[in-house]
Structure 1
């Protein structure tokens, strides 16, 4: 069974989002997603300052099985990328909610409102249970 963090918000595409300081939102992929992908071998990150839109691709994750798009759960500007993933993409497998985070985005508008439109942990658990 995959781990789901109760304090995060989720997308149906298996990204998680966590509110940071101000209007900042940290984004990564879920434990369910990394389990489905298998061993991650490469992560393509967006550039600092890149504009991202909710539901649009912001990069890719390549595993031994497939290449998958990373979708942004919020709209805004990329303010940080996890450069450690360039040399150690396997961090996403080992710590999807910790050291394996992908990007931080400064939300265009109110971060709380943007996050409120995402799935709660309970709703995400129902989604993943239906896929099992």
Structure 2
């Protein structure tokens, strides 16, 4: 009977690019990449020039085979990786760049502070406090 075998062995594990330890998925959403120009679509999606032009004329093309996802390393903390699925179904990973963040859906650039937060609040949230506060009873 087909489908009775466990597919647990097919799960792919990723390693930290800095220390080669195993990375753990943080459970974040997948932020898929999109492309607006025919040249980008042709380069990253591997379609013909004619198909790329057609897809570009319809608007932004969301690539469901490339996304940014959050991972956790025990030594380096939170890492954002760009994952690519090849036609064979294997995933390749690399560190997400600022260019990848600009082409991702439903995201803001994590390197730029939130514009709705004042400069004073941002600076104070990053500064170490001079004293520890605790509650006395």
TM, length-normalised to structure 2: 0.22
More strand by share: 1
Higher RCO, Cα 8 Å, sep 6+: 1
